[in-house]
Structure 1
Amino acid sequence: MFNNLFSISLIVSTTHLTMILIVVATIFLVFILIAIIKMYKLKAENKKLMQTNAYKDYEESRKNEPSGHLYGDH
């Protein structure tokens, strides 16, 4: 009798664990999808910023600055 009761509770517990794992996996999948969408949005924004004049002006100003090396540029 005890053995039969234990196997029934084990089946219920396995079913519950399976459902919990499915829910957790779904939540992580949603987080991964949100991260991928944000990555593509940031990549598009970065591409736009790289094409603006402000970035080009910054690059030009960096070329005119000394390197900061104490012994000169070798």
Structure 2
Amino acid sequence: MININLFSKAIIVTTTQLTMILIAVATIFLVFILVAILKMYKLKAENRKLMQTNAYTDYEKSGEDLSSGHLYDDN
């Protein structure tokens, strides 16, 4: 009976400890979200820059058919 009581005391987590753990986990997830948002904005800026280049407009004006590639198996 003494061993069970000792084991149950070892499992008990105080409210302060639980709060600190939750704050730490929330902080880590907040950092991940902020990194994802920054990457999204960087990708949008790069995409905008690529859309303004001549290579994209030249390809769009050529009207080349993409379905004639080797992946579509048209022999």
Superposition TM-score tier, normalisation by shorter sequence? 0.5 to 0.7
Q: Does the residue aligned with 2:14 lie in a helix, a strand or coil?
A: helix
Cα distance in 2 for partners of 1:66, 1:40 equals 29
CA RMSD of aligned residues (A): 2.4
- Cα 1:35–1:66 change in 2 (3 A) is closer
Q: Does the residue aligned with 2:15 lie in a helix, a strand or coil?
A: helix
The number of equivalent residue pairs is 60
1:65 offset after TM fit, Å? 3.4
Alignment of 1:38 with 2:39, yes or no, is yes
1:13 offset after TM fit, Å? 1.8
Consecutive unaligned residues in structure 1, runs of 5 or more: 1-5, 69-74
- Cα 1:15–1:49 change in 2 (3 A) is same
Consecutive unaligned residues in structure 2, runs of 5 or more: 1-8, 69-75
Cα distance in 2 for partners of 1:47, 1:24 equals 35
Identity level (%)? 73
Cα distance in 2 for partners of 1:31, 1:48 equals 26
The TM-score, its normalising length taken from structure 2, stands at 0.65
